[in-house]
Structure 1
Amino acid sequence: MLKINKIHVCIQVLLLLVFGFSAQGICEQPSYTLKQLCQMANENAETIQIAREQTFIAEQDKNRARSVLIPAATLYGSYLNYKNDDAYTPDVNTLGAKLTHSFTLNGRELIAYKVSKHGIEKAKFSEQAIRSDYIFQVAQAYIQTLNLKRLVQVADAEVKRLGNYRDSVNEKLTVGSVTKTALYRAQAELSKAKTNKIVALNNVQRSKAGIVRLTGIPDDFSISPGGTKDIENFSITLEEIKSKALENRYEIKEAKKDVEIAKRNMAYEKGAYWPRLELEGGYREKDITYDTGIGTQGEYDTEELYIQAQLVFTLYDGGLRKAQVRQALAKQRQAELALANEEKAIILESKQSFLEFNTAKSTLINLADEVKSAQENFNAVQMQFKYGMADSIDIMDANTLLVDSQRRRSNARSSFYLSILKIIYTQGDILNYVVTAGRYPNGLFWPDLIL
């Protein structure tokens, strides 16, 4: 009997463990790192999928251009029947097969095929540029959400601090050290702090909703921060940013490919001035029947193999070819101007990201001292209030100074990380260092940038 009870107890414990771990697994929120969020966005984002489809369309354009270089094979058949057939209007049953091909003597079709291959490269550059922009948005949303979570911690600390102050005022009120107005002020400030905490929590939920929209992940999730190894030592020069941006940015690569395509399109349009050679070869069989007029049917069959060549040269087209060549020349000028404009825009973006980085770094250093001083000031004023050397206004001023400095430091830290992120994006490296978690040239590991 004792042995049976022991077995029963063991089974109950086992069931509790199994169902306990199962419930924990069901209730646990999935947690995402920056790399995981970017990978989910890369898979689920409609914007990126549209860009992928554009690359696929470009690949099919290449197949279409290649099909022009291959002769077309055709099978055909026809039957011609007359009501009153005779030797002059016989019934004809025709079957045949033929190969047809035509090309311009300057190789215009080959030029179109090469243009289509460059079109695929351009579409891939465009896809990568769209991916970079989208992943940059995801990374920005990630950093901003972390900052908002830190602001919730600041608000929570303020609620606890003012709650303790309210309790202290209440104790002093019982012994007559302060007036009741001090308690009312403490309760009002505590309610205000609780309201600020609710607003901060709502801001986090709004930011997380933005991440859900960008990445397509479920609504119930949390984000995992990383470390900050050597981030304060991050340094870079303006020339390094500009040189890497002009070399790596997909927008520049796409614009250069546009110029190359425009030059080849010019050669393609000039090919319209060349003669066109049309070739045809095939086999044809005809079964011919007719009424001989004496009550019998006459019939005979013919078979033939043939080759036909035709040279076509357009003498006058009303100015069509001339207009097409001028359009191609204008599009080439447009592509060159677009490349120059893109280079100037990226140089400006490099300067702005460099200045933002320097400003954010200096601000963060100064705010660290400000928070430390504000914390020491609050502690001192709190001690003075304890011994009756400060009033509630002094406490509120010290608390406001501390909260404002903590919020500014949190925002400055977020701006600092965003400025580094902007530099990596400007240099065209964001896909390497966010999606694949590569290593930055100065040894800084990208996930280490995030708190």
Structure 2
Amino acid sequence: MLRRLSLALAVAAAPTAMAWAEQAPLSTKTDLVTVYQEAAANNADLAAARADYKARSEVVPQARAGLLPNLSAGANLSDTRTQVDSPANTSSRSGMVYQANLSQPLFRADRWFQLQAAQAADEQAALELSATEQSLILQSAESYFAVLRAQDNLASTKAEEAAFKRQLDQANERFDVGLSDKTDVLEAQAGFDTARANRIIALRQVEDAFQALITLTNRDFNALEGIEHSLPILAPTPNDAKAWVDTAAAQNLNLQASNYAVEAAEETLRQRKSGHAPTLDAVASYQKGDNDSLGFSNNAASANRFSGDVEQRSIGLQLNIPLYSGGLTSSQVRESYQRLNQSEQLRESLRRQVVQNTRNLHRAVNTDVETVQARKQSIISNQSALEATEIGYQVGTRNIVDVLDAQRQLYSSVRNYNNARYDYILNNLRLKQAAGTLSPDDLAALEQYLKSDYNPDKDFLPPDLAKAAEAQLRGNPQY
């Protein structure tokens, strides 16, 4: 009786004894949005970025403090003994002096520009934090679909192993009845051993993918909801590279942050230049102490005029005109010029990189659309070719090597198809990140295509492929 090898049979015969393949109850499966929420709540890198932003934002009140009043108070307790020529001419005085000083900057150009630079740096820090938060959306999706990709890859390698095992059994049967020689058995055994090794490696890749997800979220996951094959594979909207580049130029978060970095460098340059400018402060002081402590009794006339506690108040303006500081200010100006040039060049480099990434990702998504369809058709064609080769082997027109090669091509096309699906999903998200529009809503939009009862051993292929392959084998044009 003629036996055909199909994907459906291979999947049905795939080994199911591995512990990871035991599907957890539906209530324990995790969806994409939940993974992102766990990452947002527990990711160490994001927590560090938030702490960094809070620390960097303190530069604003620190810079503002230089323009606000400065008030200080203190007390001084002293005991002064004076001896002239002999102990008989010894005098002493002691007492407590209380004092308070107030200073209010009136004209401090350097501190004003320092405040402007600090505010620009604060905006830069806020945008960089937003970029980190946006990056976490993509990282969550990448880690999530890396698990699904690895699971589908393992499912295909299990099916491939089962197919090679069936081929090995068939070769042994044919050898036992004299229809083939030992070479066929050895070739089939080699194919089976290779498929088994690939399945072991694929199992480790699943475990590695789950570990990466745990690292991202600090949470354990038993199973994830899979993506349905009904997910629409569509070109980006709008399908215009220039429109995406224009959006990226206006909304890319890292590019916006670089604009504020340039602004901060410009304000810092102004601050350094203003080091040549005069400064003007209003100053006031108050002192209170006894006559001796304040030093009004140094001579007889003062001693007669002042006795007991004395209060002293003063208020005035203090002007400072910088003349020469050893070349420090000029050196700082030159340094700031170069820092400004550096920040402008870094911004230009980033702008070019953003344009390049946006254009590349736009092309990648359009390529993925065509690739997914081509890979799907490749599975159908390879399955039909395998079944035809199997028939040829049964009647003696093909050899075992032809069959094994056809099997390898089939399962290679399966893995290429699933890789193309996940590449399409992730490249779409990367394109939106490059354009600065990526948000948690994009993950929520994928939720409707997640399948809570997804089983990689059964669902790693579109359900209509077996029928399509059979139709192609028979030459039905509707497929």
- Bucket of the pairwise TM-score, normalised by the shorter protein: 0.7 to 0.9
Q: Which amino acid letter does the alignment assign opposite residue 55 of structure 2?
A: I
- Pick one of 278, 282, 290 that aligns with 1:279: 282
Q: Match for 1:139: what amino acid? A: A
Other structure's SS at 1:123 match: helix
2:260 to 257, 269, 274: 257
How does 1:384-403 map onto structure 2 within 5 Å?
A: 384-386=392-394, 390-403=398-411
Tell whether the 8 Å contact from 1:281 to 1:305 is kept in structure 2 after alignment: yes
Pair 1:98 & 2:101 matched = yes
C-alpha spacing 1:97/1:51, structure 2 compared with 1 (3 Å)? same
Q: Which residue in 1 is equivalent to 2:56?
A: 58
Q: Aligned residue for 1:120?
A: 122
Residue 167 of structure 1: CA displacement? 3.6
SS of structure 1 residue aligned to 2:80: coil
CA contact (8 A) 1:45 1:214 kept: yes
Match for residue 350 of structure 1? 358
Counterpart-to-counterpart distance in 2, 1:38 and 1:156 = 30
**Which amino acid is the alignment partner of residue 122 of structure 1?**
Q
CA contact (8 A) 2:67 2:108 kept: no
Q: Map 1:307-318 to 2 at 5 A.
A: 307-318=315-326
| Alpha-carbon distance in 1 for matches of 2:395, 2:60 | 85
Find the residue that maps to 2:56 and give its secondary structure: helix
* Comparing 347-356 and 38-47, the one that deviates more: 38-47
Letter in 2 for 1:326: R
1:72 Cα deviation from its structure 2 partner: 2.2
Q: 1:277-356 residue pairs with structure 2 within 5 A?
A: 277-288=280-291, 300-356=308-364
Q: Is the 8 A contact 1:378 1:402 kept in 2?
A: yes
Correspondence for 1:70: 68
Report how far residue 92 of structure 1 moved: 3.1
**CA–CA distance in structure 2, aligned partners of residues 54 and 265 of structure 1:** 21
In 1: Cα distance, 2:320 partner to 2:39 partner: 54
Equivalences for 1:95-174 in 2 at 5 Å?
95-103=98-106, 105=107, 107-174=109-176
Q: Distance in 2 between matches of 1:175 and 1:318?
A: 102
Distance 1:212 1:82, change over 3 A: same
* Conserved? CA contact 1:169–1:186, under 8 Å: yes
How far has the Cα of 1:171 moved from its partner?
4.2
- Contact 2:31 / 2:450 at 8 angstroms: preserved in 1? no
Residues 231 and 449, structure 1, Cα contact 8 Å, conserved in 2: no
2:361/2:427 contact within 8 Å kept: yes
Letter paired with 2:234: N
Q: 1:29 to 1:185 in 2, by over 3 A?
A: farther
Q: Which moved more, 1:388-397 or 1:151-160?
A: 388-397
Residues 218-250 of structure 1 deviation map (CA, whole Å, 9 limit, x = unaligned): 3x5333223465532233221122111111111
List gaps (5 residues or longer) in structure 2. 1-23, 84-88, 298-305, 452-479
- 8 Å CA contact 2:81–2:91 kept in 1: the answer is no
Q: Deviations over 1:379-398 (max 9, x none)?
A: 23334545666543332232
Rate the CA distance shift 1:117–1:30 in 2: closer, same or farther, 3 A: farther
- How far apart in 2 are the matches of 1:239 and 1:449? 30
Deviation by residue 1:192-220 (Cα, 9 ceiling, x = unmatched): 322221111111112222222233223x5
Shift of 1:184: 4.2
- Identify the residue that residue 238 of structure 1 maps to in structure 2: 241
Alignment-mate amino acid for residue 199 of structure 1: I
Could you tell me how far 1:328 is from its partner in structure 2?
Answer: 2.7
Q: 1:125-172 CA distances to partner (integer Å, 9 max, x unpaired)? A: 122223334443443333233222111111111222233333444444
Q: Which range moved further: 62-71 or 424-433?
A: 424-433
Give the letter aligned to residue 393 of structure 1: V
User: 1:51: Cα distance to partner?
Assistant: 2.0
2:457 aligned residue: none
The verdict on how the C-alpha distance between 1:27 and 1:299 changes in structure 2, with shifts beyond 3 A counting, is farther
Q: Is 2:234–2:369's contact at 8 Å kept on the other side of the alignment?
A: no
Q: Secondary structure at the match of 2:72?
A: strand
Q: Give the distance between the partners of 2:218 and 2:276, measured in 1 at CA.
A: 53
Equivalent position SS for 1:194: helix
Corresponding residue to 2:78 among 58, 77, 80: 80
Q: Judge which range, 281-290 or 382-391, deviates more.
A: 382-391
Aligned to 1:285, what secondary structure does the other structure show? Answer: strand
Alignment check: 8 A CA contact 2:235 2:366 kept: no
Partner residue of 1:376 out of 384, 396, 399: 384
Q: TM-score, normalised by structure 2?
A: 0.76
CA contact (8 A) 1:29 1:221 kept: no
How far 1:60 sits from its partner (Å)? 1.4
**CA-to-aligned-CA distance 1:88-111 (integer Å, 9 cap, x gap):** 7522321233322334x2544333
Seq. identity, %: 20
Amino acid paired to 1:330? Q
Q: In structure 1, what residue type is equivalent to 2:200?
A: I
TM-score, with length taken from structure 1: 0.80
CA contact (8 A) 1:227 1:448 kept: no
Distance in 2 between the 1:271 and 1:449 partners? 61
1:367 matches 2:369: no
Q: Following the alignment from structure 1 to structure 2, what is the Cα–Cα distance between the partners of residues 249 and 192?
A: 47
Q: Which runs of 5+ in 1 are unaligned?
A: 1-25, 292-297, 439-444
